[in-house]
Structure 1
């Protein structure tokens, strides 16, 4: 019974961490200003989600392909605004970009925040 309780606690901690980590760090209006000033707008959803509707001017690189397509994002010193459907994938992608040396990464979270 102790292992069951321990398992539940671990799951709750992981879920809490993922929710906290997925919090966006830029508002929709701030993201628009960044894009208007030349930032790359990066949609990390699947191609099917992207073709179903996306923010005008966005490039689509699914989060699963991002490590292999970093050059498609552009220069490491150019601002990048990342979004997905709910904010989970954009948080992962933002972390990947920062680890790869991109210096101005902002996470919009979900597309609905635009």
Structure 2
């Protein structure tokens, strides 16, 4: 994966699809108003600025897919989670990308 894709979202949708099929924890890191206007079925909303205080919600999850509007905030969320010991985090990029993969 290239530097930009690691920051702005995974280009390898097969990895995301596999994680979703295995029951990944889907996390929309946009603000609540953005989430309310549409998101991925089964996703939870944990805004980027709340990730650090909501770490307990991520514990024990086999795979975590984070996403947002452009892939920028989800890249930041992935970094925060990894800095806190989570190694099973995938930056899904945009919510519409992840939504297409969920079906």
Structure 1 length as normaliser, TM-score? 0.74
Which 5+ residue runs of structure 2 have no aligned equivalent?
A: 99-103
Question: Could you tell me which residue of structure 2 aligns to residue 86 of structure 1?
Answer: 70
Quote the RMSD (CA, aligned, Å): 1.9
Deviations 1:12-56 (A, max 9, x none): xxxxxxx93633125445323312202111110011111110000
Q: Which has the higher contact order (CA 8 A, sep 6+)?
A: 2
Aligned residue pairs total: 95
Q: Which runs of 4+ in 1 moved over 2 A?
A: 19-23, 25-30
Q: Distance in 2 between matches of 1:26 and 1:55?
A: 18
- Indicate yes or no: 2:37 matched with 1:37: no
Which 5+ residue runs of structure 1 have no aligned equivalent?
A: 1-18
Structure 2 length as normaliser, TM-score? 0.81
